[in-house]
Structure 1
Amino acid sequence: MVLTAGRFAAFGPSHWAALGLFAAGCAGLVMLGRAQRAASEPGERVGAQARGFGKAYALAIVYVVIGTQVHTLLPGQWRIGGSLPLQLCDVAWLAAIGALWTLGPRGFALMYYWGLTLSLQGLLTPALNGTDYPDIDYLGFFGPHLMIVWAAVYLTWGLGMRPDWGGYRFAVAATAAWAVATFVFNLIADTNYGYLNDKPSTGSVLDLLGPWPWYVLAEIAIILLGWALITWPWTRLSRYPPASG
């Protein structure tokens, strides 16, 4: 039987299938990470098993992303408003590769804040204008998003890495740098990467935040406060050392 793709519908069967896969992957990666922690040598923050798996996971992200990214660059698919790797998700999967390869504090900080808030929001309210599964647009959206959020879950609740205020400041600075550069590019090229210059045509949580530029300012406030709120509890739990400690 040949599968044919219809139009994607938020919280339709294919969306729920992706969310179910997301939940199963989270559970499996948390158990795996904890087992790797238990197998580490005494006093060793990250053991050999975790380092090996992190590199393999990083290469898996490369494998998943290359196919979909190359597809967007083909002559029949290319468009300046959607083919360039300028979405925050594109930066996030690069950060995920670095975080998993090095298991370092700065890469983890980006995964914690980007993966557990912005990329997770993308999974819950996907701005997907393309066709449904098994179309390449569906796979190209959910594949990287799933692997980014899984990486954040694995590092945090699997390997036990923890955010701190230094990581918070680094993530805020990195996000601001991306936003300014992308906003300027959007103005020059008449594009809308990151939805910094206009809201997506499909329904999203941005519809609750008013018109431009108020929704952008509201996003900034929500991100600063929200990231602070998900940092503060970890810094209060002294039995968990900070990621950069």
Structure 2
Amino acid sequence: MMYIFSSSTSHAFKLFSTPHLFTLCILMLVLITMGIFKNRLRHPVTSFVVRICIALVLVLTEYSFHLWFIYHQKWDVTTTLPLQLSSISLFLAVFLLLTRRFFLFEITYFVGSASALLAMITPDLGVYGYPHFRFFHFFIAHGGIIVAAFYMIMVEKYKPTYLSIWKTFLSLNLFVILIFMLNLFLDANYMYLMAKPLSNTLLTYLGPWPIYLLSLEGIAILAFHLLYLPFIFTKWTNTSNDHSGTTQFNS
């Protein structure tokens, strides 16, 4: 049992191993289940309880992460502040669930969902494979961000606009500038702005610094547009149905 919370492990994370794929399947199952029961979840009391529960899970997950570092005397201002994109997205998701602010939804959906999904596909977990605490923390935190964003879409009926893409992109870049300056001040590498992670992730294949940062800009724009595609199709389908209904009525 203590192995799960130990500071070292002999079970390194293996990309696309059975535990890795299983966690991705669990996330997909949660999203499908949420879609099936979306009408029941729209009851005001039920919606409030579910939103609070998701937010609580996210907060406790982040809290336990910092407790683990403190317990093992590994907490460091240069590496452990909640300034990685995943931690920032997590807190945005929490505030979104509590306040239901549309601007928070825009950022959480585009930045949070895109970054969390990419992180879950190519995790930066190093030596912390299943069943270590860090493995569970990583996938619960990132999966929770995605669940929060899609809950607002499926249950609360939030829909981003095309302008949301560029508002989010601008907000992200302003935040990147802020984190870059903090990195210089702290001699840190938050959001991997100063160097790529040691593990094999998407950044591994995007060229040296600072080329991979420019590559990420393009990937972000592409990812945001891909995330917006379902809403274009929905709008197109609804418009087609409206025209079809009008034609039948007139005939």
- Conserved in 2, the CA contact under 8 Å of 1:30 and 1:153? no
Aligned-pair Cα RMSD in Å: 2.5
Tell me the percent identity. 25
Residue of structure 1 equivalent to 2:225: 228
Which is further off, 117-126 or 173-182?
A: 173-182
The aligned residue for residue 116 of structure 1 is 113
Unaligned runs of 5+ in 2: 240-251
Comparing 119-128 with 23-32, greater Cα deviation is found at 23-32
**TM-score, normalised via structure 1 length:** 0.83
Structure 1 consecutive aligned stretches of length 4 or more whose deviation exceeds 4 Å: 1-5
Give 5+ residue unaligned stretches, structure 1: 40-46, 241-245
Structure 1 residue 187 and structure 2 residue 184: aligned? yes
Equivalent in 125, 147, 150 of residue 150 of structure 1: 147
- Find the residue that maps to 1:231 and give its secondary structure: helix
Could you tell me which amino acid in structure 2 is paired with residue 194 of structure 1? M
Deviation at 1:122, TM superposition (A): 0.3
Q: Please say which of residues 141-150 and 231-240 is displaced more in the overlay.
A: 231-240
Larger Rg: 2
Amino acid aligned to 2:136: L
Cα deviation, residue 232, structure 1 = 5.7
- Separation (CA, whole Å) in 2 of partners of 1:2 and 1:214: 42
Question: 2: CA distance between counterparts of 1:72 and 1:102?
Answer: 30
Is the Cα contact below 8 Å between 1:112 and 1:156 reproduced in 2?
A: no
Give the match for residue 246 of structure 2.
Answer: none
Hey, what does 1:175 align to over in structure 2?
172
- Asked if 1:199 is matched to 2:196, the reply is yes
Post-superposition Cα deviations, 1:190-220, rounded to whole Å, max 9, x if no partner, equal 2221111111111111222211111101111
What letter corresponds to residue 135 of structure 1 in structure 2?
H
Q: Match for 1:178: what amino acid?
A: F
CA-CA distance at 1:2 after TM superposition: 8.0
Q: Is 1:107 the equivalent of 2:104?
A: yes
2:55 pairs, out of 55, 58, 65, with 58
Preserved contact between residue 66 and residue 75 of structure 2 (Cα < 8 Å): no
Inter-partner Cα distance in structure 2 for 1:183 and 1:115:
19
Q: Does the 8 A contact of 2:90 with 2:112 survive in 1?
A: no
Does 1:17 pair with 2:35? no
Residues 37-76 of structure 1 aligned to structure 2 (within 5 Å)? 37=42, 39=43, 47-74=44-71, 76=73
Cα drift, residue 117 of structure 1: 1.0
Residues matched between the structures, number: 232
Larger mean CA deviation between 73-82 and 103-112 belongs to 73-82
Structure 1 CA distance, aligned partners of 2:80 and 2:126? 14
TM-score relative to the length of structure 2 = 0.81
* Secondary structure of 2:171's aligned partner: helix
- After superposing the two structures, state which structure 1 stretch, 9-18 or 75-84, moved more: 75-84
